[in-house]
Structure 1
Amino acid sequence: MSAGMSAGMSTVRRLVGVARPELKRLIAAALLGVLAMACSIGLMATSAWLISRAAEHPPVLYLTVAIVAVRAFGIGRGVLRYAERLVGHDAAFRVLARTRVQAWIDLDRAAPAGLGGTRAGDLLTRVTRDVDAIQDLLVRGLLPIAVSLITGIATVVLLTALLPAAGAVLLIGLVVAGIGAPAASPLLSARAERRFTPVRAQLTTDVHELLTGLADLTAYGATDQRLRQIRHQDGHLTGILRRSAFSTGVGAAVTNAALACTVIGEILVGVPAVRDGRLAGVVLAVLVLTPLAAFELVTPLPTAARHLLRGRQAAERLRALADLPSPSVAWRTTTHQPATAGTSSEKSAPTLSARGLTVRWPGAAAPALTGVDLDLRPGRRVGLIGPSGSGKSTLAAALLGFLTPEAGRITFGGADLSAFDEASYRRQVVLCGQDDHVFDATVRDNLLIGRPDATDDELLAVLDRVRLGAWVRRQPDGLGTTVGERGTRISGGERQRLVLARALLADPAVLVLDEPTAHLDDSTADELIHDIAHATEGRATLLITHRYRDLQAVDEIVALPEENSRTNAGHWRRRPA
């Protein structure tokens, strides 16, 4: 119980912290909403009085003020409603942007090592739909409740001033509709609403995995099985939405029943008051028709209650991102600049070293690497080979600072990684992985990630270094050629060359190549390795591979036995290339 309350309070504090900078805008939106609803109720009340008074055929001058008021209320309602939506959505979009940025910051802090237990589709749901739910919580949840509460009290006071019994009847009707309808909706669909966000996330995950793995699923004839699973999840979600719609209908029925009873109640208390002379006859229409407008206040409350529940669940899932483990290096906030990188001055480039390195992935029972010693000196190419699961990619993650060593030390230019700020270190040590993302954009846009200020001539020069420049020049759009999502419009070899060119464009001091020939046929892999050897001359390079043929152009070979990842008995073996 205490843990749940603590988590709930943490979620509330997070929401308050995100919304606090927009508090003035949210308050302004609430006030504009109150004024808009006041105009709507004033329009109904004034129109009712005007019609009743006009039936008595008074001089037209007696109706002038009411006529002007009707026009003012009619125009004011539309203008104020527009202003309320404009200010409210502006505040909500600002909160939305801040929430999305914070979600990405939380992911960046934990990535990639801390995301091992989280599926890509679920993360996609959190940074899209869950973030959008925070906007709905504000605009469709909190604001309608605040507007209904303030305007409802003012309307009850107005009718009480005309006839105390009429005010009491309206108060009872608004309380029944404003509390009973929103309460009935969650009660009827509480379990379904609790399941809505997780089921939607699971459906998104399944669809994402189907789309990303469609080629493999088709090759193995497993597409129909995954489609059946998605249909099952979609049916489950549809059932939840159906139950939610039913509860919303029940809430609407409660509201309409309360409205009908309120109107009848106003007639029952108003007619005797007119007979007794306690109330003017023309005011009776005001008592009877005003609730029709006042009940517009409670109509959105069942939906608001649902958005509050979904928004709270979404906020809890976003808060869980902040609770993800952070296994990366604790970088400094002040910059520690290493020596100048690049091939132009090998003597000034720093050395990346590992001593007695032991690395464990979060939650793993045993270390993935133990007792590792490695030096990546300027101008030297080191080949690291070992079977799958022996810890090659783990070493790359540690050298990049994604994993904090359990024991041992990693230094760059003689300083621990924690002495650097993350941005400066990332510019000096660059990873070129086997599955580096290629965006559905142009060749130019994909390369500019490595160095945003590069010119087209520099882009073509780096493409020439990886033997991709001639291909780009042959394309009708040149550097503007789109490569498709994950590089689907180009071959596997061209994709890897593009990734390598992007890494070289950053001109790092140390380049870590993690399985660059993975997923390539032997002839394409051999050509790529030859080009890598040419492109990395004079640069500290670590080539991680499981193919001995990839190591022909390195200066030193380090072999990692498979047992090194399972026991402490395995040791690294070095030999000249």
Structure 2
Amino acid sequence: MRRDVMRVLGLWRGHAGWLLAGVAVAVVSALAGVALLVLAARVISGAVAQGQGGAVALTGFGFTALLWLRPVMLFRPVARYLERLVTHEATFRALAMMRVWFFTRLAQRLPAGLGLRRAGDLLGRLVADVEALDGLYLRVIVPGAASLAVVLTLALMVGAAQPGLAAILALPLAAALALPVLLAPAAARAGTHVAEAQGALRSAVVEPLTGLEDTLAANGEALAGRRVAAEGGALARAQSALARRAAWGGAMGSLLTQVALLGSVAWALSTREQALAVGLMAIFLAIAAAEALGLMPRAGAALAAAAAAAHRLFEAADTPEPVPDPAVPAAPPKGHALRLSGVTFAWAPDRPAVFDGLDLDVPEGARIALLGPSGTGKSTLAALLLKFAAPQAGLITLGGVEIATLAASELRRRVAWLTQDARLFDDTIAANLRLAAPEASDAALWQALDRAQVGDVVRGLPEGLETVCGEAGGRFSGGQTRRIALARTLLSPAPVLILDEPAAGLDADTERAFLATLDEATAGRTVILILHRLIGVERPTRILRLVGGRAIPATG
């Protein structure tokens, strides 16, 4: 637990200024509360000492305390406001950084897709687990620092006059301050169960909704509902267990602060009259400490939840990269001819080889049609060419440079891939296109759409490029979606294009029209066209067939 928490704090170093400022403001706010009650104690003890009920008779320290009381009363709410403002700003900045960091790590480690990871679970980690980290700062570090400052101030102020009273007052409060840390390891197990149950519930909800048509077609909504109910019940039980631990911590913390207060009252009642001012100050300080420590009972549960969330984040983020970049990348190649020499590859040691000594030359400007039924490795070849996976043997070169020595970002600037299930995201057409070229002008977007022969369709829309595509491009037909995805690929400056089943899912007429578009749209680039079969409109310069893990010239 401690290792995960310290790693989170290390990642937050870039926002250390805001985080430390929030802690400082919280400490000042807490000490302002202490000062307010100390001044009140001075005023009351001064009035009692003179036997007067009104403040007009106050002299000496009592009168000075009365003068300071009003400005401190005005400063306290200002300090509390600044505390909320600065600590929440610091938290928002730190959590935003964590989301970007986690997404970047996932992108590096899941280039070929989610694989065996569940979308709902990863969504939970990106959203709920990152959100849980706010408790580490707002409910542990900030109140902990403020409470520590109050307890130390209390011990120093009272200890200077009455060391025995300081011990009566400070020891229970110090125990209450340490209580969350002592209880956190046990609460961490409950926090882990909550985090896991949240991930399972999100998966139970997201997966049936993502494939809702299949769920309904199979009459599986009742089964999906039962699964959601079961996971919801498991989450409720886990949250109840964590809440019980938090309640016990809160009860013990309250008991310790009450012990300090009652001890101060008992000492004040038994003390001599000349020490009455110290006794009253101790009582008021105990009240101030109780206020500062009031947030600490939740700190143990918050620390446990944050540690469990951090562990889940790091568990996913630390998945080994399938093809890590070299420590010192080679210089980018000047050419873009592709060559595979003796490539052997299997997705796992216990699975059969997809390629066994594959040799393939793709000269600059070539238009290769690569044919074969499902399972022969056509899409696997694309994954190898973009370093989504690495061969177990053999070499792959681009412009004479082995791609294993190139940075993935440099390689993917030269090789673009229109995947078999290319998606449009629930954003505008312009935003979808600019995934391939973030700085592209509107004119460049229209040119790409026209080359994909879908520009007129977009011009006919009321909002044009600002039209929202909908989830998975639901705003458009299958053919229109594929053409917009093709336009995105064409917008890339990459000289090599891999088009993986570009007409998948289209009807025969739409398929012919779409494939006929490719010859003109991809002119001047190297093209690897991955298909189940040719229909006569593709115009490749070379046709190969994948058979037994090797590429052989197609016959007939």
1:11: which partner in 2? Answer: 4
Find 1:220's aligned residue among 211, 218, 221.
218
Matches of 2:317 and 2:255 in 1, distance apart? 45
Do residues 572 (structure 1) and 548 (structure 2) align? Answer: no
1:172 corresponds to which letter in structure 2? L
Asked whether the equivalents of residues 196 and 240 of structure 1 are also in contact (C-alpha less than 8 Å), the reply is yes
Larger CA deviation: 312-321 vs 230-239: 312-321
Residue matched to 2:480: 494
Question: What is the SS of the residue equivalent to 2:416?
Answer: strand
Q: Secondary structure at the match of 1:560?
A: strand
SS in 1 for 2:322: coil
Q: Is the 8 A contact 2:253 2:296 kept in 1?
A: no
Identify the residue that residue 503 of structure 1 maps to in structure 2: 489
Matched, 1:117 2:116: yes
- Aligned partner of 1:490: which letter? F
Residue of structure 1 in register with 2:170 after alignment: 171
Q: Shift in Å at residue 392 of structure 1?
A: 1.5
Change (3 A) 1:260 1:571: closer
- Relative distance call for 1:58 and 1:222 in structure 2 (3 A) is closer
- Are 2:184 and 2:304, in contact at CA under 8 Å, matched by a contact in 1? no
TM-superposed deviation, 1:433? 0.6
What is residue 320 of structure 2 aligned with on the other side?
325
Taking the aligned partners of 1:110 and 1:58, their CA distance within structure 2 comes to 71
Residues 381 and 556, structure 1, Cα contact 8 Å, conserved in 2: yes
CA contact (8 A) 1:352 1:377 kept: yes
Counterpart pick for 1:465 among 426, 448, 451: 451
Asked whether the 8 Å contact 1:383–1:551 carries over to 2, the reply is no
* 1:338 counterpart residue number: 333
Residue 498 of structure 1 deviates from its aligned partner by 0.5
Instruction: Name the SS for the 1:20 alignment partner.
Output: helix
The alignment partner of 2:353 has SS state of coil
Please state whether the residue corresponding to 1:217 is helix, strand or coil.
helix
Contact 2:43 2:63 in 1 (8 A): no
Which segment drifts farther, 479-488 or 493-502?
A: 479-488
Q: Which residue of 2 aligns with 1:104?
A: 103
Change (3 A) 1:252 1:488: same
Q: Residue 175 and residue 306 in structure 1: after superposition, are their counterparts in 2 closer, same or farther (change >3 A)?
A: same
C-alpha deviations, 1:226-275, integer Å up to 9, x for none? Answer: 1221121122112222232233333333333333333332222211213x
Corresponding residue of 1:301 = 296
CA distance in 1, matches of 2:484, 2:291: 59
Question: Which of 418, 435, 440 in structure 2 is aligned with 1:449?
Answer: 435
Evaluate the alpha carbon distance shift between residue 401 and residue 550 of structure 1 in structure 2; reply closer, same or farther with a 3 A threshold. Answer: farther
> CA-to-partner distance for each residue in 1:136-191, whole Å, 9 max, x for gaps?
2123222222222232121123233343343222123314433457656865x554
Q: 1:378 to 1:576 in 2, by over 3 A?
A: farther
Matched, 1:279 2:275: yes
Q: How far apart are 1:396 and its partner, in Å?
A: 0.6
Is contact 1:96-1:132 (8 Å) kept? yes
Shift of 1:89: 3.6
2:130 equivalent to 1:137: no
Q: CA separation of 1:364/1:120 partners in 2, compared to 1, >3 Å: closer, same or farther?
A: farther
User: Taking structure 1 as the reference length, what is the TM-score of the superposition?
Assistant: 0.87
**Worse-matched range after superposition: 359-368 or 385-394:** 359-368
Structure 2 contact 371–532 (Cα < 8 Å) conserved: yes
User: Where do 1:24-43 residues align within 5 Å?
Assistant: 24-43=17-36
Q: 1:364 to 1:129 in 2, by over 3 A?
A: farther
2:429–2:469 contact (8 Å) kept in structure 1: yes
Q: Deviation of residue 503 (structure 1)? A: 0.5
SS of 2:504's equivalent in the other structure is: coil
CA spacing shift, 1:58–1:501, aligned 2, 3 Å: closer
- Distance in structure 2 (CA, Å) of the matches to 1:251 and 1:169: 21
Return 5+ residue gaps in structure 2 as ranges: none
2:183–2:300 contact (8 Å) kept in structure 1: no
**SS of aligned partner of 1:441:** coil
| 8 Å Cα contact 2:368/2:540 also seen in 1 | yes
Which whole-Å CA distance do the structure 2 matches of 1:532 and 1:176 have between them?
73
SS of match in other structure, 1:96: helix
Deviation at 1:373, TM superposition (A): 1.7
Distance apart, 1:58 and its partner CA: 5.9
8 Å contact 2:180–2:300 — kept in the other structure? no
CA distance in 2, matches of 1:242, 1:506: 52
SS class of match (2:254): helix
Distance in 2, matches of 1:431 and 1:444, equals 19
Who is 1:542 aligned against? Answer: 528
Q: Distance in 2 between matches of 1:336 and 1:82?
A: 54
Listed as ranges, the gaps of 5+ residues in structure 1 are 1-7, 340-348, 565-569
Deviation at 1:305, TM superposition (A): 1.5
Task: Pick one of 232, 237, 240 that aligns with 2:238.
Answer: 240
C-alpha spacing 1:17/1:367, structure 2 compared with 1 (3 Å) = farther
Per-residue CA distance 1:76-114 (angstroms, 9 max, x = gap) = 322333333444344434433433333233222212248
Q: Match of 2:491, as an amino acid?
A: L
Paired with 2:121 and 2:456, the residues of 1 have a C-alpha distance of 41
What do the CA deviations read for 1:25-69 (whole angstroms, capped 9, x no partner)? 444433332221111122123223324544624644625422232
Deviation, structure 1 residue 552: 4.6
Q: 1:355 Cα shift?
A: 1.5
Distance 1:113 1:217, change over 3 A: same
The answer for the alignment partner of 1:345 in structure 2 is none
- Which segment is superposed worse, 52-61 or 352-361? 52-61
User: The residue matched to 1:549 in structure 2 has which SS?
Assistant: coil
Q: Provide, for residues 420-443 of structure 1, a one-character-per-residue CA deviation record: whole Å limited to 9, x for no partner.
A: 333332121100012223121221
Amino acid at match of 1:226: A
Counterpart mapping for 1:7-406 below 5 A: 11=4, 14-54=7-47, 56=52, 57=54, 59-60=56-57, 62=59, 63-113=62-112, 115-180=114-179, 183=182, 187=186, 191-274=189-272, 277-280=273-276, 283-328=278-323, 330-331=325-326, 336-339=331-334, 350-361=336-347, 365-406=351-392
Which whole-Å CA distance do the structure 1 matches of 2:295 and 2:361 have between them? 66
Equivalent residues of 1:380, 1:541 under 8 A apart: yes
- Indicate how the Cα distance of structure 1 residues 113 and 442 shifts in structure 2: closer, same or farther if over 3 A, else same: closer
Paired residue for 1:4?
none
Distance in 1, matches of 2:450 and 2:522, equals: 13
What is the Cα deviation at residue 293 of structure 1?
Answer: 1.6
Looking at structure 2, the residues matched to 372 and 357 of structure 1 have their Cα atoms a distance apart, in angstroms, of: 5
3-state DSSP of counterpart to 1:296: helix
Structure 2 Cα separation of the partners of residues 392 and 514 of structure 1: 8
Q: Partners of 1:502 and 1:21 in 2: how far apart?
A: 35
- CA offsets per residue over residues 311-349 of structure 1, 9 Å max, x none? 22222223223431222263575573434xxxxxxxxx6
Q: Confirm or deny: 8 A CA contact 1:331 1:422 kept in the other structure.
A: no
CA distance in 2, matches of 1:356, 1:312: 47
Written as runs of structure 1 = structure 2, the 5 A alignment for 1:401-480 is 401-480=387-466
SS in 2 for 1:518: coil
In 1, Cα distance between equivalents of 2:421 and 2:94 = 34
Identical aligned pairs, as a percentage?
34
Cα distance in 1 for residues equivalent to 2:204 and 2:429: 30
